[in-house]
Copies of this chain bind each other. A is one copy, B any other.
Amino acid sequence: MNLILLTEHDLITDEQVQLDDRRFQHIRMVHKPEVGAHLKVGMLNGLLGTGQVLALSDTAVTLQVSFHKTPPPPLPLTLLLALPRPKMLKRILQTVAAMGVKELYLINSYRVDKSYWGSPVLEKQIMEQLLLGLEQAGDSIMPQVHLRKRFKPFVEDELPHLVEGTRALIAHPYHAVPCPPAETTQTTLAIGPEGGFIPYEVEKLNEAGFKSIHIGERILRVENAVPALLSRLFPV
């Protein structure tokens, strides 16, 4: 937790917050600040700033907060990701949030096991995992996550509007060109499930304007492909 993320509900006055939950435990056990110390804080979907420790007890911490810094710039990206299995989904949500993705579509694909759509992670933990990623990276802007359980209507009806005017790419190592150089260009990137998109799905994405790219001969797991691709597609 490199950043303590706050919401309006934490405010006890205009400039003070009191925390007694997970964030308090983390501050007490990991940061172990003296009274007077400064911690990095951020207002969820707002500015970053500092929180000075006013009081620290066994049950709560009180911070004097001020906000003055804009969060890191978002990636100019809409990411389409075939829904991963629940355990991997948790990590990927953290990764996506940590790396600055702000628009994530979790989509269906032939190789997505139907049971994944019933996972408790999807129902209850999306926000929690994204928060962990933001806290790690030092960002305050919550990504938007959209669930699309039906591939065909999504690709035919919604996707053409999403990709308009963007660099549209599928990470798909067959009949693919090497990943293009880093650019600050609005991009739509589709990443398939373990085992990849099936030919029909690739064809539909190609029809919607997506170009197949690869990042080498090696086949990476989705959890590695995501940081590898995002790192390569956008400049520092």
Contact = CB atoms under 8 A, between A and B. Distances in A.
In the complex, the count of this chain's copies comes to 2
Nearest to A229: B231
Interface in A98-143: 98-100, 136-139
Residue among A72, A179, A214, A221 with max Cβ neighbours from chain B (10 Å):
A221
A179 B2 contact: no
Q: How large is the interface on A (under 10, 10 to 19, 20 to 34, 35 or more residues)?
A: 20 to 34
A162 interface: no
A95 interface: yes
Residue among A72, A94, A227 with max Cβ neighbours from chain B (10 Å):
A227
Contacts of A217: 72, 138
A11 interface: no
Contact of A216 (B72, B178, B214, B218): B72
A164 B225 CA distance: 31
B98 A218 contact: yes
B136 A220 contact: yes
Contact of A220 (B98, B216, B218, B229): B98
A224 interface: yes
A26 interface: no
Contacts of A139: 218
A173 to B, nearest CB: 10
Interface string A68-107: 0000100000000000000000000011001110000000
B224 A95 contact: yes
A225 B72 CA distance: 17
A219 interface: yes
Interface of A: 2, 72, 94-95, 98-100, 136-139, 178-179, 214-221, 223-225, 227-232, 236
19 contacts: A2-B219, A72-B216, A72-B218, A98-B218, A98-B220, A136-B220, A136-B221, A137-B219, A139-B218, A215-B236, A216-B236, A220-B227, A223-B223, A225-B227, A227-B231, A228-B228, A228-B230, A231-B231, A231-B232
Q: Which 10 A-B pairs have the closest CB atoms?
A: A228-B231, A137-B218, A72-B217, A178-B236, A227-B228, A227-B227, A224-B227, A231-B231, A231-B232, A2-B219
